[in-house]
Structure 1
Amino acid sequence: MTSASSPQTSTDTTATAPASQPPVTAPPAAEARPVAREHHGHTFTDDFDWLRDKESDEVIAHLQAENAHTDAVTADQEPLRQAIFGEIKAHTVETDLSVPSRRDGWWYFSRTEEGQQYTVQCRVKASDTGDRQADWTPPVIEPGVAVEGEQVILDGNAEAEGQPFFSLGGLAVSRDARLLAYAVDHAGDERFTLRIRDLTTGEELADEIPNVSYGIAFDATGTRVFYTVPDDSWRPYRILAHTLGTSVEQDQLLFQEDDPGMWSGFGLSADRTELLISVGNSEVAETLAMDLPETAEAPLGELRMLVSRDLGLLHGVDPVTLDGQRHYVIVHNKDFTAEDEEHGPAPAPNNMVSLAARETVTDPRFWRTVVGHSETTKVDGAAVTATHLALEVRRETTPRTVVLPLTGLATEHQADPVEPDFGEELYSCELAGAPFESPFLRLAYSSWITPSQVLDFDVASGELHQRRQVEVPGHDPDQYLVERWWAPADSSQMAGAGGRPVAIPLTVIRRRDTEWDGTNPCVVYGYGSYEMSMDPALSVARLSLLDRGVVYVVAHVRGGGELGRGWYDDGKKLAKKNSFTDFVDATRFMAQSGWVDPDRIAAMGGSAGGLLMGGVLNLAPELYRACVAQVPFVDTLTSILDPDLPLSALEWEEWGNPIEDPEVYRYMQEYTPYENVRAVDYPAVAAVTSLHDTRVLYVEPAKWVQQLRRTVTSDQSRALADGGAPIVLKTEMDGGHGGASGRYRAWEDRAWDYAFLLTALGATELL
C-alpha cells in the first residue's frame, strides 16, 4: 500500500529514517496589534484579538493563507490520507438503512445510498393485527431495495443540493401522519429554519420560521408546532407554539427564561398528553408542565410547576399514569428522606429515583423512593412505557439499562430491576427508543471492537431480539484486544473520596499480535468536561490506527462522568487542572508500561478536549511527538470573560465566573492554554477548526497557533516526516462545530487527522 513514509512491520517496529523532506516554508504571521484586557488587577496583552472579526477580508485572507500553508506542509501525507479514506470506505456498507421504528401507524427508517453524502428519511405503513408482538416487530427491509408502499419523506441529498452545508435540527411527524416539520441549517451556525411539508402532496406549506434552535414537536391535533428560539448568544431561551396557517408574529409564547446562565428545552410525555419544559444548567434545574388539548379548538393549558429551581435539584421528570392516577418519575440528586432541620436533604450525587403524585409533586416530602442512592451506580435518566420503567445507569464506567414494571412501583410490591446480560466486560447498552405502546424497549449495544447492534428487549419475558448488527466488511473483532487499566493520579491536586489515592481508568485497545517490546506507537485520546463520558463504541476509522500497530488509549480523566458525579466535580471549576494532570499521568503510565515507545506517543482531543490538549502541551510537551487539537477551546479565559459570546454565561457553571470571582480568574489564568505557552520544545501541532463554529470560535485556535509559533523553541522548519515539529492551522470554511457536513467529508477529515499523527509516529504502513 502506498504510504507517506517508510514501512512499519510487526517484526521490526523501529521506524526507518525517512527520506529528507524539503524545508517547511515560512507560515503566515499575523501582525501583532496589542489589546489590553484588565480584570482583578491583572493585565493581559493580546496581540491577535483582531483575528476574531470574521467579516473582515483581511481575516479571511489570513485563514486562507493558513490553509494554503497547511496544504503545503502536509502535502506528503496525501497518499496516506487517501489510503485511510479507502480503508474507512472499505469497512463501511455504503448502501445501508436503519432499523425501522414505529410511530403511530407507520414504520420510520432512513436509507443511505452509495455515493450520497446524506441519509434519506423513509416510511412504510404498519399493520395492526391485534398481536402486539407481531405488530411491533419491525419489517425486514433490504438495503437498496424499495418496498411496496415505501414513501420518502425527506431526502437530505436533495435538501443539501447547491448548499455549502446541511444539517437537520429536528424532525417531527404529526399524529395523523400527514405533516412533516423539519428544521434545516445551511450555514453550520446551528440556527435553523423550521418548515412544514404536506406528506400527502409533497408540497411545502407557507409556514416558515427562521432562527430556531434544536427540537420541534407537533401537538396531538397536528395543528400546532412547538419550537425553541435562541438568544443572541445562542442560548435557547424562548419556547413558542405556532398554529399552522397563521403568521409567525401570532405565535404564542409559552415560556421565556431570562437568566443568562440557564438553558431551556422541551419535550412531550411518553403518552404525548403533556408538554414538559426543562430549564437548567449543570448544577440546578426546573421542570414545568402543560396539559395538551385533544382538539384544535381547545386552547393550550396553563403551565404548572412540577419541580422548582428553588429546591436546588438537578433532576429529570417523566410523567406516568398508575392505577388511573397521574404521577411523575423523578431522577434527582438530593435525598429528602434523609432531610434534617440543620443540614436539609442529604446529598445524592449519583442520583436516586422517586415517584410523586400530581397533587403533591411540588413538595418532595411526599415523594416515594423507587431506587435509593448508590455510591457505585449513577442513574443518568429514565423512560417510561405503558407498562414499564427503564433506567439508564452507569456502573464501573460503562452505561447500562435496567428495567422494572410499573406495577407496585414505590411500594413493598415493587419488583427487582432486570438488566440484559452481555458477554463483554467493557460495553455500552443504552436506550434507543421506548415507544409508549410497544412491548419492546429498543436498545443500542456496542463495544470498543464489536460492531453496534440494535436490540429489542421484551420487557415481559426478558428476551433479547437482535434486529440488526452493523456490518463492517473486513473487520474481525478477534484480531483486537480491549483492556481496562488504571493509572495512578500522581500529580493530582486533590485526593479522592475519603482522602484515598485517585486512579484514572484507561481503555487500552490494540491488535492481539502487538508485542510487549516497548516499540509500539501510541495515541492517547481524552475529553474530560461537562460530565460527558467516553463510552464504548466501535470506530471504523480507528481501525486504521490499530492496523498500523498503534496502541490506542482513551484516558477517562476527571471532568467526565465515567465514575459518577464525584468524578465530574473533581475536574471542573477550581479543580479543572485535575483533567490536565490526569491526562499527563495517564501518558506517563503508558510510557512506562513496556508496551509503547516513550518517543512515539501522540495526543488527540476536540472541543473541551481541545482545551485539554492545550493544557497538557503546556504542562508536559516533552511527552508527545504530535498533537491534533480539534475545534480546541484554547482561549478559555477570554471567551468566558465575554458574556456576549455564544453560550458564555452558561459556561460559568462549568468553569466558574471569572468576571465576578478573582479566585476563579486567577485559577483560569494559570491554565488557559493561549496565555501559558512556554519557550520550550513542543510537539508538532495541528489545530483543526471551522469558520462558522458557534461553540468554539475559530479565532481561538487561530490565535493559539500564532502564539505557539512565535514562542516555542521546537524545530518548525523541517517537515513532519523528517522529524520536524510544524504547527499548522486547518480551517473548514463552510463547517460548524462538527466540521464539514456529509459522511464522505467527515471521512476525509478523520483521514487527515490520523495521517498527521501516523506520519509523526512513523507508523504509516499497515502491519
Structure 2
Amino acid sequence: MSSIKKDSPPCAEKIPVSSNQHGYKLVDPYDWIRDDNWQEVLHSPNVLKKEIRDYIDKENEWTDRKLSNLSPLKEVIYNEIKGRMKEEDISLPQKDGPWFYFSETKKGKEYSILKRYKTNTSIEEGVIFHNWNDESKDFDYFKPGVASCSPNHNLLSWSFDSKGSEFFSIKIKDLKNNKIFHDQVNNTDGNMVWSLDGSGFYFIKMDKNHRPSSLWFHNIGTEENEDYEIYNEKDTGYFLSISETLNKKFLILSIHNHETSEVRIIDQRKENKELILFTKRQKGIEYSIEHDQENSEFLILTNINDATDYKIMKTDENALDKENWYEFISHKKDILITDFSCLKNFIIVQELENGIPRILSINKQNNKQNIIKFDEEVYDLDFNEGNEYSSNTIQIYYSSMTTPQVVYEYNLVEKKKIVLKKQEIPSGHNPKNYITKRIFAKSKDGEKIPISILKRNSTLENSPTLLYGYGSYGISIPPSFSASRLSLVDRGMVYAIAHIRGGMDKGKKWYKNGKKEKKINSFEDFISSALFLKKEKISSDISIHGGSAGGLLVGASLNMRPDIFKSAVAEVPFVDVLNTILDDTLPLTPPEWEEWGNPIKNKNDFDYISSYSPYDNVKKQNYPTMLVTSGLTDPRVTYWEATKWVAKLRDIKTDNNPLFLKTYTEAGHGGMAGRYNQIKEVAFTYAFILWSHGILKRSISG
C-alpha cells in the first residue's frame, strides 16, 4: 500500500480510520500499518501482512540506496570503533562458593564464552561451561539472557531470545557431563532464581500481550506443562520481576509500576514455597528490600512519609508490615539514594549529590560511615558486591567521558582501593587530549539544566555538536566513557548530554517535574540546552539523538523548534504516544499511565498528551535531515510508531531535506544482536550524523 516514483521516497497510502474519545473525533490515515496480529508478529515476523511488509521493504530499499554513499565512511568508523575494543579479553573472575566464574571474548566472535575454575587453582585452568557463540548458530537473531548455576554448581540454567521480541526461553544442562535436559521453559522474561535445594527454579512468565504477569516454578526434569503457578497479578498496570537477597536466603518478587511497588518473599530455608506479603501496596509508595542475616532484619529502601529522594529503614524479619519499620538512614534533601546492598559486616549505599555519584559504606558493628568519591568534575560510578555475602571487599567501577573504565577492589575495612583492571583501548587513547566538563543552561521557567560536555582540546568555538537526551522514567544518563563517540569528537564535533527533567539526575523531584502533566518540561529543557550551546559559542550546527522515550524527546523537539537543529536521529522512537496510551492491549500501556497519564479515563490527560504527541503534532513546516530506526519485533516501542510517523512526515512537511527510515527486520528494541553487529549500527548512525554536517574527513590522530 505504497507508491514510489522514480528517485522519490515511498509514499504510504492513506486509509483513514476514525475513533471517538472524550467527544473528539480522531482520524488516523496510517492505522493500517499496525498489524492487528502484532502478538504473532513478535513470535514470527514472517506473518506480518504483505502490504505492511512491502511498505517497510520499500522504505529500507530507499534508505539503503540513498545512503549507499556513506558505506566508505561507515566502514572507516566501524574499524575505528572496533580498533578501540579489545577483541580478545577476559572479565574479572567473580567468586561464588568453590568456583571463580568469568567470561572470555574471542576475536571475530559476537558473544562471550563462559568459563570457571576451582578456587584452589588458577584462571589458566578455567574450563568452558557455556559458549553463547555455539548456541547462536541455530538462529538468525540471538540475544543471550542470564546464565545461573544451581546452588551446588552442578546444573546450569540459561535464557536466550531468538526473535528480538524479549520472549526468553530457558534451558538447563548438567555441568558434570554437559548433557542438556529435555526441559525448555518458554515465554519468560529471561530471569530465574534457583531453589536452595537445586530441585528447580522460579521464573516470571509473560502473558500473550508481553506483560510479565505471573510467578512460576519449574522442577528440573519435568515438562513445561507441569510447571506450577505461584502468583498471578490481576492488575494489568503492574509488572513482576524476581531477584534474591545477596545471602540467597529469600526470593524477592517485586510487583511495581512507575509510582508504586509491593514486595512478596519466599523464605528459601523452608520446605514450603509460601509467598509472604512484605507490606501491602499503597499508591505512590515505593520500596525494595535486602536481608541482614546477622541481625535477622530486613533493610528497606523507600520513599515512605515524604522521603522524596529515599531513605533506608529496618524491620525485624518476623514483623514485616510498614507499621514496624524504623529509620536507619534518614532522608537527605537533594541527596538521592540510587542503590544499596547488605554484606555480612557492611552496608553499601550509592548516592547522587548534585548529579555527582558517590558510594557510602557503613560498618554494621559501629555504624561508622565512609564516603567514597573521586576528583574529576563529572564522572560515573558504580559498585558490585559480588556473590560472597561474607566478603569485606567490593568492586568499584569508575569512568568519565574522557577516562576509560577503571575497576577497583575496595577494602571496606582498610578503606583502601587497588586497581584490578583498566579498560584497554588497543588503538590508543590519551585522556589529556580531551576536555569534559559540566555546564548549566537555563530552561524556559528558570530551572538550571546540567549539560555534560566532551570535546578535544583543539576543538574551536562554534563547532558542530551532537546533543543527546532521554528524560523519562527517572532514568539518568551517566557521563561515562564511550569509545564509540570518539569517532565524532575526533572529527571536531562536540558531544553533549542534556540531563533534562524526566530523568533523576537532580533527584526524584527532577523526575516528577518531567512526567505526566509536566512532560513538556523535558522538551523545553532540551531545546533550552541547544539554544544555550549556541549562545555560549560552544556549538554551531546541532544534531540531536535519542532512542525509545528519547525518540519522543527528539520528535517533540522537532515539532516545537525544527529551525534550530541541523539533523536528527530517532531510534525506536516512542512517537505515537496518544494512540499507544489509548490502547490498553499493548504490553506497556497500563503500567505507563503512571508515567504519562491515562487518556482513556481522564480528559485532561487526553488533552495534554494530544498537545505534544509527535505523531499527532506533525506540522506543515520545514524539518531538518532525519534518520529514524525501528525493530520489527520490538515489544516495547512497536514498529508501526516509527513507520507511521515517517509516512506522515513525508506527506506534511514542506522541505526537501532527506528523511530516512531503517527498519531492522530481525531485531527488537535493543537493535541488532552481537557486539560486532552493534558496532555496525553505531557506525551507520555516526556516519549519517557526520554526513549531515558535511564532515567526511578521517579522524584526528593522537
- Secondary structure at 1:72 match in 2: helix
Check if 1:680 corresponds to 2:621.
yes
In structure 1, distance between residues paired with 2:283 and 2:586: 30
Matched to 2:272, the amino acid is P
In structure 1, distance between residues paired with 2:6 and 2:481: 36
Check if 1:363 corresponds to 2:322.
yes
Counterpart in 2 of 1:52? 34
Counterpart in 1 of 2:45? none
Match of 2:78 among 52, 62, 85: 85
Check if 1:100 corresponds to 2:93.
yes
Counterpart in 1 of 2:120? 127
How far 1:311 moved relative to its partner?
A: 7.2
* 1:93-172 correspondence runs (5 A): 93-127=86-120, 141=123, 147-148=124-125, 150-172=126-148
In structure 1, distance between residues paired with 2:99 and 2:418: 20
Deviation per CA, 1:559-578: give whole Å up to 9, x if none. 00100000000000000001
In structure 1, distance between residues paired with 2:154 and 2:319: 39
Check if 1:589 corresponds to 2:541.
no
Check if 1:184 corresponds to 2:160.
yes
In structure 1, distance between residues paired with 2:172 and 2:583: 37
How far 1:162 moved relative to its partner?
A: 3.3
Check if 1:429 corresponds to 2:405.
no
Deviation per CA, 1:15-35: give whole Å up to 9, x if none. xxxxxxxx9920111111111
Matched to 2:333, the amino acid is E
Counterpart in 2 of 1:721? none
Counterpart in 2 of 1:342? none
How far 1:644 moved relative to its partner?
A: 0.5
Counterpart in 2 of 1:442? 395
Counterpart in 1 of 2:690? 758
Matched to 1:362, the amino acid is D
In structure 2, distance between residues paired with 1:184 and 1:321: 33
- 1:229–1:238 Cα contact (<8 Å) kept: yes
Matched to 1:458, the amino acid is N
In structure 2, distance between residues paired with 1:190 and 1:433: 28
Match of 1:551 among 459, 472, 494: 494
Check if 1:273 corresponds to 2:245.
no
Matched to 2:99, the amino acid is W
How far 1:456 moved relative to its partner?
A: 1.6
Check if 1:741 corresponds to 2:686.
no
Counterpart in 2 of 1:398? 356
Counterpart in 2 of 1:303? 275
- Secondary structure at 1:475 match in 2: coil
Normalised TM-score (structure 1) = 0.87
How far 1:523 moved relative to its partner?
A: 0.8
Matched to 1:590, the amino acid is L
How far 1:62 moved relative to its partner?
A: 1.2
Counterpart in 1 of 2:431? 477
- 2:170–2:190 Cα contact (<8 Å) kept: no
In structure 2, distance between residues paired with 1:265 and 1:666: 33
- Secondary structure at 1:605 match in 2: strand
- Secondary structure at 2:370 match in 1: coil
Deviation per CA, 1:302-346: give whole Å up to 9, x if none. 222222203752111111123xx41011111123xxxxxxxxxxx
Counterpart in 2 of 1:37? 19
Matched to 2:24, the amino acid is H
- Secondary structure at 1:544 match in 2: helix
In structure 2, distance between residues paired with 1:462 and 1:548: 42
In structure 1, distance between residues paired with 2:276 and 2:180: 35
Check if 1:329 corresponds to 2:312.
no
Matched to 2:95, the amino acid is R
Matched to 1:624, the amino acid is F
Check if 1:622 corresponds to 2:563.
yes
How far 1:36 moved relative to its partner?
A: 0.9
Counterpart in 1 of 2:342? 384
Deviation per CA, 1:140-172: give whole Å up to 9, x if none. x5xxxxx22x22121111111031111123221
- Secondary structure at 2:308 match in 1: strand
Matched to 2:341, the amino acid is A
Counterpart in 2 of 1:504? 449
Relative to structure 1, the CA distance from residue 532 to residue 24 in structure 2 (aligned partners, 3 Å threshold; closer, same or farther) is farther
- Secondary structure at 1:360 match in 2: coil
* 1:535-684 correspondence runs (5 A): 535-597=478-540, 600-684=541-625
In structure 1, distance between residues paired with 2:180 and 2:52: 39
- Secondary structure at 2:303 match in 1: strand
Relative to structure 1, the CA distance from residue 24 to residue 113 in structure 2 (aligned partners, 3 Å threshold; closer, same or farther) is farther
In structure 2, distance between residues paired with 1:637 and 1:183: 34
Matched to 1:469, the amino acid is K
Structure 2: runs of 5 or more not aligned: 36-40, 42-47
Counterpart in 1 of 2:182? 206
- 2:258–2:592 Cα contact (<8 Å) kept: no
Check if 1:69 corresponds to 2:62.
yes
- Secondary structure at 1:461 match in 2: coil
In structure 2, distance between residues paired with 1:646 and 1:333: 27
In structure 2, distance between residues paired with 1:569 and 1:312: 12
How far 1:65 moved relative to its partner?
A: 1.0
Deviation per CA, 1:401-439: give whole Å up to 9, x if none. 21111224xxxxx22x21224231211221223431222
- Structure of higher RCO (CA pairs closer than 8 Å, 6+ residues apart): 1
In structure 2, distance between residues paired with 1:572 and 1:608: 12
Counterpart in 1 of 2:653? 712
Check if 1:231 corresponds to 2:207.
yes
Relative to structure 1, the CA distance from residue 309 to residue 437 in structure 2 (aligned partners, 3 Å threshold; closer, same or farther) is same
Relative to structure 1, the CA distance from residue 454 to residue 506 in structure 2 (aligned partners, 3 Å threshold; closer, same or farther) is same
In structure 2, distance between residues paired with 1:240 and 1:377: 38
Higher deviation after alignment, 748-757 or 270-279: 270-279
- Secondary structure at 2:293 match in 1: strand
Structure 1: runs of 5 or more not aligned: 1-22, 129-138, 142-146, 336-346, 409-413, 493-500, 716-724
- 1:521–1:763 Cα contact (<8 Å) kept: no
Moved over 6 A (4+): none
In structure 2, distance between residues paired with 1:153 and 1:530: 37
- Secondary structure at 1:586 match in 2: helix
- Secondary structure at 2:55 match in 1: helix
Higher deviation after alignment, 186-195 or 153-162: 153-162
Relative to structure 1, the CA distance from residue 447 to residue 552 in structure 2 (aligned partners, 3 Å threshold; closer, same or farther) is same
- 2:348–2:361 Cα contact (<8 Å) kept: yes
Counterpart in 2 of 1:352? 311
- 2:501–2:525 Cα contact (<8 Å) kept: yes
Check if 1:407 corresponds to 2:365.
yes
Normalised TM-score (structure 2) = 0.95
In structure 2, distance between residues paired with 1:24 and 1:358: 72
Deviation per CA, 1:478-533: give whole Å up to 9, x if none. 1110111000002x4xxxxxxxx3110000111011123x2x11111000000000
In structure 1, distance between residues paired with 2:423 and 2:127: 24
In structure 2, distance between residues paired with 1:480 and 1:646: 43
Check if 1:454 corresponds to 2:386.
no
How far 1:367 moved relative to its partner?
A: 2.4
In structure 1, distance between residues paired with 2:208 and 2:356: 37
In structure 1, distance between residues paired with 2:98 and 2:67: 53
How far 1:248 moved relative to its partner?
A: 2.5
- 1:398–1:535 Cα contact (<8 Å) kept: no
